[in-house]
Amino acid sequence: MNDLETRQLRYFVAVAEEQHFGRAAQRLGMAQPPLSRAIREMERQLGVQLLVRTTRQVALTPVGETLLDDARRALEAVQAAGRRAHRSGRPAPALTVALKADFDAGLLPRIVEEYRELPVQLLLGGPGDQVRAVRDGRADVALVPTPYDPQGLESEPLVTAPRVVALAASDPLVTHPGPLRLSDLAGRMLPNGTAAELGDVTAPTGQRVRRDLSQIFSLVETGNLVWFLPQWLAERFPRPNLVYRAVEDLEPSTLAVVWAVGSRSPAVAAFVRTAQDVASR
């Protein structure tokens, strides 16, 4: 019956994240006392203790942990609702497409050219930003390579291409006889700072890469950093000191167009169709 209010969720998330009422209040632009009372009122309303406070430490109870997860999701959904409504009502509406620079398999120019429903606005971002932007309504669609977190999204695959490994030209593996396998690369460092292990090597193309492309390329050229990238990305960046080689048991990558559940407006549907058309040629 008595739902939580967005304001309460915002307060709780701030306190839970800061683990400190003072800093949370500052972040929210308010004084501590009302924040303190609001949380207490929330606990009373739910009949649950969310935080254990000593004067030196604020910690989440198990219930608080799960509420933090749920509250983040709920706030994201509320923001998505507001943002999408706001954006679609603008005088000169545009379709916002989120993608990571160069991760378009060379399709973007042709898609934009053939898509004539609306002006296209690009939203460039780092890894993981794309799906987040679509989920919270800042973008209408995104182009992302697998693997990505599909929660709250629908998608259509565009192109599936093998991934290759980027090696320094001086790397002994360049002259490795026969096809490379993942086991040949075990123990090398990945761009996210972890060592490549057999169960781990499929992830780095996805979420956790924190540097931009040229940085990664120069790290690969110099050290024994390895990087897995889709074929089409390798083709776009021929570099003198870099060699791309196929890896036999490396899973291929699929570039997909994704949109938020329930937001398949005519404009989005047309974009998806255009992207599929272009990709199938």
Partner DNA sequence: ATTGCTTACGACTGCCGTAAGAATG
Partner DNA sequence: CATTCTTACGGCAGTCGTAAGCAAT
Contacts with DNA by CB under 7 A lie at 5, 7, 20-22, 29-41, 53-58
Q: Closest approach of Cβ 20 to DNA, in Å? A: 4
Q: DSSP secondary-structure letter at 179? A: -
Distance separating alpha carbons of residues 233 and 224, to the nearest angstrom:
20
The radius of gyration of the chain's CA atoms, rounded to the nearest angstrom, is 23
Instruction: For residue 179, give both structure tokens.
Output: 């096809």
Q: Closest CB to its own copies among 65 and 249?
A: 65
226 CB neighbour count, 10 Å cutoff:
24
DSSP structure string for 174-238 = GG-SS-B-HHHHTTPBPTTSSBP-TTTTTSTTSTT--S-HHHHHHHHHHSSB-EEEEHHHHHH--
User: Which of 146, 171, 166 lies closest to 156 in space, CA to CA?
Assistant: 146
Cα 266-271-272 angle, rounded to 5 deg = 100
Q: Closest approach of Cβ 11 to its own copies, in Å? A: 12
Q: How many CA atoms lie within 13 A of 243 on its CB side?
A: 15
Q: Closest approach of Cβ 70 to DNA, in Å? A: 20
Q: Closest CB to DNA among 35 and 98?
A: 35
Does 46 bind its own copies (CB under 8 A)? Our answer is: yes
Question: Which of its own copies, DNA, none binds 31 (CB below 5-8 Å, type-dependent)?
Answer: DNA
247 and 142 in contact (C-beta within 8 Å)?
no
Q: Closest CB to its own copies among 88 and 214?
A: 88
Q: Closest approach of Cβ 53 to its own copies, in Å? A: 17
Q: Closest CB to DNA among 50 and 161?
A: 50
User: Which of 229, 266, 265, 223 lies closest to 245 in space, CA to CA?
Assistant: 229
Q: Closest approach of Cβ 48 to DNA, in Å? A: 14
205 and 228 in contact (C-beta within 8 Å)?
yes
- Find the part of the chain contacting its own copies (CB under 8 A) among 51-59, 71-79, 116-124, 246-254: 71-79
Amino acid symbol at 227: W
Question: Which of its own copies, DNA, none binds 88 (CB below 5-8 Å, type-dependent)?
Answer: its own copies
184 and 196 in contact (C-beta within 8 Å)?
no
Does 215 bind its own copies (CB under 8 A)? Our answer is: no
Does 48 bind its own copies (CB under 8 A)? Our answer is: yes
Q: What mask, x for binding its own copies by CB under 8 A, covers residues 88 to 127?
A: xxx-------------------------------------
Does 147 bind its own copies (CB under 8 A)? Our answer is: no
3-state SS assignment for residue 278:
helix
Does 156 bind its own copies (CB under 8 A)? Our answer is: no
Does 52 bind its own copies (CB under 8 A)? Our answer is: no
Does 70 bind its own copies (CB under 8 A)? Our answer is: yes
Residues at the interface with its own copies (CB under 8 A)? 3-7, 9-10, 46-50, 62-63, 66-67, 69-71, 73-82, 84-86, 88-90, 137, 151-152, 261-263, 265
